[in-house]
Amino acid sequence: MIHLQEVSKQIYDLAASNDPLAPLVNEALDVINEGLDACGEDQVSISFNGGKDCTVLLHLFAGVLGKRRAASEHTSPIPAIYIAVPSPFPVLEEFIQDAAKDYNLDLFYCRPPQEDSIETVVTPAPNAITKGQDYMHPLPGPRGVGKAKGGEGMRQALEMYKAQFPHINGILIGTRRTDPHGDRISSRCPTDEGWPRFDRINPIINWSYADVWSFLRQLKVPYCKLYDEGYTSLGSTYNTFPNPALLMTPAMNPDAPPIPSASSIISPTTALTTVMSNTHATPQPEALSPTDVLSTYISSTHITSHDVANGNNYSAAFTSPPRYQPAYMLKEDHLERAGRGLSIPTVAT
């Protein structure tokens, strides 16, 4: 189990440094403290789904609580809610349970009845992402993001949580500007009309993908190991794949005819998009293996067409399954969700 005071010193030392992350860390700490002051320290929970953003947020929250509790004997668990997506990755849920123990979370595990509508996989176009207003001073004040389709499962989950913990009136959420509809929110947004009443507190709203990984790696914060396997945005096994932008050149069979470069034969984006759009747009009885997706596409589509065009047989060229660089190697922030499959274009509030 981590010690809150140690995490607090680590984070506040970073905030007081000349590190490029310091301004963002200070902003996040201010937002968390303001949310705790407004809602009550014992009345704020954290939404934790094991993703990289929530992991950053949890570490920041632990640091704030460590400083607030330094002069007291307050050691109660940290309130938290985990809303499961359809068919979650087992390794992700293992990480969530480990984090719950390490951070002493009072974790409410919620799997709503209509779980098919919890998750969104739609990514805004890069040119549609705006910085928005100064989120520390929203005008005319905190606001919701408006009505959104497909959020029934999320609404049910929050209703269940409210019924179980009626004293909780604020929830920390790891939303960032580049997330779907992230450009529409401020640091504190009330839930929409018809939803259980919570203040949604968004401390890392202005962080970039690179900022998230800089924080996690610099402070050596444990994260889900799927990110080391090329995943950059985690959701359901139905629609989450390794990011094709991180695909490495497959190992080559030395006895096969020479191939100029892997990139000249296969477009990972085309491979994943084609396979998912044809076979994986909706949940299937059995989740596809990302390795099988690319391997099948390479052998049946790109290699075959290359063979036909050049009169060569490259079917035995690849001797190992596709390999991916870790998530923190992705340099283009707008490709963060390139590994997410096609699905119904809805966003849950």
State phi, psi for 281 to the nearest 5 degrees: -70, -25
Per the confidence metrics, is the pTM higher than 0.75?
Answer: no
pLDDT (tens digit, 9 = 90+) per residue, 43-88? 999 999 999 999 999 999 999 999 998 877 667 899 999 999 888 9
Token pair 């590190």 is found at 19
Q: What is the widest separation between alpha-carbon atoms in the chain?
A: 76
Alpha carbons 326 and 181: distance in angstroms, whole number? 26
Q: Report the candidate in 195, 201, 149 with the shortest Cα–Cα distance to residue 175.
A: 201
pLDDT of residue 147: 33
Alpha carbons 33 and 207: distance in angstroms, whole number? 18
The segments of the chain whose pLDDT lies below 50 read 115-150, 252-253, 256, 258-268, 274-291, 293, 295-309, 313-317, 342-349
pLDDT of residue 164: 92
Alpha carbons 212 and 218: distance in angstroms, whole number? 10
Alpha carbons 17 and 336: distance in angstroms, whole number? 28
What DSSP designation does 258 have? P
Please check whether residue 185 is in contact with residue 205, taking contact to mean a CB–CB distance below 8 angstroms.
Answer: yes
State the DSSP string of 96-107: HHHHHHHTTEEE
